[in-house]
């Protein structure tokens, strides 16, 4: 069974300790750290930690790939530190340019709902397929129920994003929920497109916030500042209920009066410009729609194009602008299909599979974009390229739709027979093949590209010398359950009589804790050892310890590793007992010939028994 506590301790040490962590969240496979100084992180030590697959640096985050056990390791880190919790503020510590910081924010906000998006998107694809092939009657109540099940999360996406954004920006989750709820409230949604809407006499341009992303993120970000200000200035007796009342009262009208009109203005300008381009240079219009449609969706600007679709349909009975959007959608689906083929990360593949199906079949690209393509950057860019090329070809063929449909593979019948079908076929083929091939050929920063260094196979037992002067006691006498029950590894403990730690064998320092309270070593034969000076001494923050080595240092038996002031540590209230344990129990599952009583450093402490020694010869 995986030892999540040991993994958590190793990862935390490898990133430079709790004091070097600005924020910590986790996704389906990775611990996502924002570090104060990434230079303090030791990738080799982290990758050598049992339970860690690899590390990666992307979007201003230092990512530790764990796999399916990541929630358990995250919980273990929470139990050992003050990190994590419901509201880690990630944006303040984000590193890199604005684009990287934007990706970090979007990734953190969307990560908790990705699997639900993928699952419901896949269900929507199946429902749409059932209708297309005549297996399900779209007028039946069965369809109504299944459609609601599959469409609810996308429809009410602002509600979900309100919660995750509130956690990211450290705002009140339920106040955020109230704000988002007002944006998609049925009577408010019904006002979309209606004239003469006012708020206390102020004209309101009402737009649809259904399935929107950016407006709710912006308003929750502003909410976080407003709440901190109000909680500081309002009297204690009333601040708890007046703060959400004031925030909601200001935030929602702010969206309706400012964010909505700006979105409508920008979207309307884009619509008018794209419409003009389609009339004069169809190929350019198709390239813009095919290449940038998903970018418009990210910022919520695509809503400005929907009225243009409707106007074109009312005027001509066809929608010319919609054809290239099929290329945009299928290109992103093809890009994530390329990720599915290219990645060696099982968990990333498990997310890419349903994202590919829901993208191709139902046109639901949120899981693909927010969970995979955008965080990986290259796949999203390749999708834009494929969409632009395919969209240009489709527009050149004069392809149009006779109905307003959600662009997807299952909705392709809306285009059949409308325009040049050869150009449609070529355009869709290009939109799919180009990003797929680009992703497969040129790749991306895969979490498993940099594989963890292989630990040498255990072939012989290893003699471990005492790293300190002192008295040997059984590990069971350590007043810490994690050490005493052997869950962190087999070994012994020593009560030091001097203030120095020496190398117990020839090998490499794989984890030099910045606080100096612990050192991890790997011997030439592959044994891995942790020397932990005192209990809970990490809380000293390095006080009374002097680290003499760093991660990666090659050492010989007897080399000085750490100096410490034992008297000062004990006066500070800490038990100085020092566990010395073998941490790679898969290769060295037991110890033998353990010493007892007083001994000096350099004398034999115990023998680490290799798994080969325990395997009967055949």
Q: Is the pLDDT assigned to residue 426 strictly greater than 90? A: yes
Query: How far apart are the C-alpha atoms of 313 and 403, rounded to whole Å?
Result: 8
Q: What is the mean pLDDT of residues 294-317?
A: 62
Exposed/middle/buried for residue 451 (C-beta within 10 Å: 0-12, 13-18, 19+): exposed
Query: How far apart are the C-alpha atoms of 495 and 484, rounded to whole Å?
Result: 15
Give 614's contacts (C-beta < 8 A, 6+ positions apart).
589, 590
Residues in the chain: 618
CA end-to-end distance (rounded Å), the chain: 28
DSSP string, 197-248: -EETTEE------TT--HHHHHHHHHHHHHHHHHHHHS-TTTHHHHHHHHHH
- What are 304's two structure tokens? 């400005």
The percent of residues in the chain predicted with pLDDT above 70, rounded, is: 83
H/E segment holding residue 597: strand 597-599
- What are 563's two structure tokens? 């100096």
Report whether 327 contacts 427 (CB < 8 A): yes
Query: How far apart are the C-alpha atoms of 205 and 199, rounded to whole Å?
Result: 10
Q: What is the mean pLDDT of residues 98-103?
A: 61
Higher pLDDT, 273 or 400: 400
Q: Is the pLDDT assigned to residue 375 strictly greater than 70? A: yes
* Tens of pLDDT, residues 21-65: 888 877 546 788 888 888 888 888 898 888 887 787 755 678 887
Write down the pLDDT at residue 94. Answer: 44
Q: What is the mean pLDDT of residues 465-493?
A: 86
pTM for the predicted model, two decimal places = 0.46
DSSP string, 459-502: -S-EEEE-SSSEEEEEGGGSS-HHHHTTTT-EEEEEEESSSEEE
Higher pLDDT, 413 or 597: 597
Report whether 139 contacts 195 (CB < 8 A): no
Query: How far apart are the C-alpha atoms of 384 and 396, rounded to whole Å?
Result: 18
**Triad 266, 211, 302: Cα angle to 5°:** 30
Query: How would you list the strands of the sheet with 500-502, edge to edge?
Result: 500-502, 560-564, 545-547
Q: Is the pLDDT assigned to residue 563 strictly greater than 90? A: yes
Write down the pLDDT at residue 457. Answer: 47
pLDDT, the chain, mean = 81
Q: Is the pLDDT assigned to residue 453 strictly greater than 60? A: no
Query: How many C-beta atoms lie closer than 10 Å to residue 349's C-beta?
Result: 14
Write down the pLDDT at residue 114. Answer: 62
Higher pLDDT, 572 or 368: 572
Report whether 484 contacts 475 (CB < 8 A): yes
Q: Out of 111-115, 314-318, 434-438, which region has the weakest mean confidence (pLDDT)?
A: 314-318
Half-sphere exposure of residue 382: CA atoms within 13 angstroms, side-chain side:
27
Query: How far apart are the C-alpha atoms of 442 and 444, rounded to whole Å?
Result: 7
Q: Is the pLDDT assigned to residue 133 strictly greater than 70? A: yes
**Triad 48, 54, 59: Cα angle to 5°:** 135
Q: What is the pLDDT confidence band of residue 558, given thresholds at 50, 70 and 90?
A: very high
Higher pLDDT, 398 or 2: 398
Instruction: Find where tokens 């080969």 sit.
Output: 612
Q: Is the pLDDT assigned to residue 93 strictly greater than 50? A: no
- Residues linked to residue 54 through DSSP beta bridges, in sequence order: 65
Query: How far apart are the C-alpha atoms of 300 and 213, rounded to whole Å?
Result: 6
Write down the pLDDT at residue 267. Answer: 63
Write down the pLDDT at residue 585. Answer: 80
Query: How many C-beta atoms lie closer than 10 Å to residue 185's C-beta?
Result: 13
As a 3-state breakdown, the chain gives helix, strand, coil percent values, each rounded to 5, of 50, 15, 35
* Tens of pLDDT, residues 336-351: 999 999 888 777 787 7
DSSP, collapsed to helix, strand or coil, labels residue 33 as strand
Report whether 152 contacts 210 (CB < 8 A): no
Alpha-carbon distances, residue 317 vs 308, 399, 498 (angstroms)? 13, 13, 89
Query: How far apart are the C-alpha atoms of 385 and 268, rounded to whole Å?
Result: 24
Write down the pLDDT at residue 38. Answer: 84
Higher pLDDT, 60 or 583: 583
Write down the pLDDT at residue 107. Answer: 63
Query: How far apart are the C-alpha atoms of 142 and 134, rounded to whole Å?
Result: 14
Residues with a known catalytic role: 27, 532
Write down the pLDDT at residue 68. Answer: 56
b/e map 26-39, b = 16+ CB within 10 Å: bbbbbbbbbbeebe
Report whether 485 contacts 528 (CB < 8 A): no
Q: Is the pLDDT assigned to residue 388 strictly greater than 80? A: yes
* Tens of pLDDT, residues 283-293: 988 898 899 88
H/E segment holding residue 608: strand 604-609
Higher pLDDT, 368 or 531: 531
Q: Is the pLDDT assigned to residue 577 strictly greater than 90? A: yes
Q: What is the mean pLDDT of residues 526-543?
A: 84
Question: Could you tell me which of 235, 188, 231, 234 has the C-alpha nearest to residue 209?
Answer: 188
Q: Is the pLDDT assigned to residue 185 strictly greater than 60? A: yes
Write down the pLDDT at residue 387. Answer: 93
Write down the pLDDT at residue 447. Answer: 54
Write down the pLDDT at residue 455. Answer: 45
Question: Could you tell me which of 151, 156, 262 has the C-alpha nearest to residue 211?
Answer: 156
């Amino acid at each position: 069974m995986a030892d999540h506590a040991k993994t958590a301790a190793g990862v935390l040490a490898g990133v430079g300790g709790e004091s070097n962590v600005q924020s910590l969240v986790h996704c389906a496979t990775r611990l996502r750290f924002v570090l104060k100084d990434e230079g303090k992180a030791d990738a080799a030590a982290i990758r050598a930690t049992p339970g860690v697959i690899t590390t990666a640096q992307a979007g201003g985050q230092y990512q530790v790939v764990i796999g399916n056990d990541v929630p358990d390791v995250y919980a273990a880190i929470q139990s050992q530190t003050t990190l994590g919790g419901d509201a880690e503020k990630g944006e303040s510590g984000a590193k890199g340019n604005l684009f990287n910081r934007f990706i970090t924010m979007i990734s953190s906000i969307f990560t908790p709902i990705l699997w639900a998006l993928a699952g419901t998107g896949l269900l929507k694809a199946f429902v749409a397929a059932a209708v297309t092939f005549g297996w399900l009657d779209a007028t039946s109540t069965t369809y109504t129920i299944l459609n609601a099940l599959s469409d609810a999360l996308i429809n009410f996406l602002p509600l979900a994003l309100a919660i995750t954004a509130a956690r990211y920006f450290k705002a009140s989750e339920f106040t955020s929920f109230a704000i988002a709820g007002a944006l998609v409230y049925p009577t408010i949604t019904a006002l979309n497109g209606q004239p003469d809407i006012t708020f206390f006499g102020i004209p309101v341009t009402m737009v649809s916030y259904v399935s929107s992303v950016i407006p709710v993120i912006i308003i929750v970000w502003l909410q976080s500042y407003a709440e901190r200000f109000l909680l500081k200035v309002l009297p204690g007796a009333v601040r708890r209920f007046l703060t959400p009342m004031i925030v909601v009262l200001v935030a929602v009208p702010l969206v309706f009066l400012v964010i909505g009109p700006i979105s409508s203005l920008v979207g309307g300008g884009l619509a008018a410009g794209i419409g003009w381009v389609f009339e004069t240079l169809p190929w350019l219009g198709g390239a813009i729609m095919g290449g940038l449609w998903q970018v418009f969706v990210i910022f919520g600007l695509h809503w400005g194009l929907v009225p243009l679709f409707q106007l074109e349909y009312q005027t001509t009975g066809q929608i010319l602008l919609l054809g290239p959007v099929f290329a945009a959608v299928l290109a992103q689906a093809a890009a994530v299909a390329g990720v599915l083929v290219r990645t060696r990360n099982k968990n990333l593949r498990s997310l890419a599979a349903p994202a590919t199906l829901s993208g191709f079949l139902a046109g639901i690209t949120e899981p693909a974009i927010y969970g995979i393509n955008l965080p990986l950057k290259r796949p999203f860019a390749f999708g834009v390229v494929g969409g632009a090329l395919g969209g240009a070809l489709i527009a050149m063929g004069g392809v149009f739709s006779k109905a307003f449909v959600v662009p997807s593979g299952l909705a392709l019948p809306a285009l059949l027979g409308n325009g040049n079908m050869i150009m449609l076929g070529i355009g869709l083929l290009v939109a799919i093949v180009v990003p797929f091939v680009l992703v497969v050929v040129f790749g991306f920063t895969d979490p498993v590209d940099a594989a963890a260094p292989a630990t040498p196979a255990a072939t012989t037992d290893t003699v471990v010398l005492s790293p300190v002067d002192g008295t040997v006691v059984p590990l069971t006498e350590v007043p810490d359950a994690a050490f005493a029950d052997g869950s962190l590894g087999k070994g012994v403990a020593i009560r030091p009589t001097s203030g120095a730690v020496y190398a117990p064998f020839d090998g490499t320092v794989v984890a030099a804790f910045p606080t100096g309270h612990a050192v991890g070593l790997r011997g030439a034969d592959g044994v891995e050892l942790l020397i932990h000076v005192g209990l809970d001494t990490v809380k000293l923050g390095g006080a009374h310890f002097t680290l003499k080595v760093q991660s990666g240092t090659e050492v010989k038996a007897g080399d000085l590793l750490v100096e410490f002031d034992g008297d000062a540590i004990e006066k500070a209230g800490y038990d100085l007992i020092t566990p010395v344990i073998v941490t790679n129990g898969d290769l060295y599952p037991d110890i033998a010939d353990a010493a007892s009583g007083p001994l000096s450093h350099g004398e034999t402490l115990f023998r680490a028994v290799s798994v080969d020694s325990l395997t009967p010869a055949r």
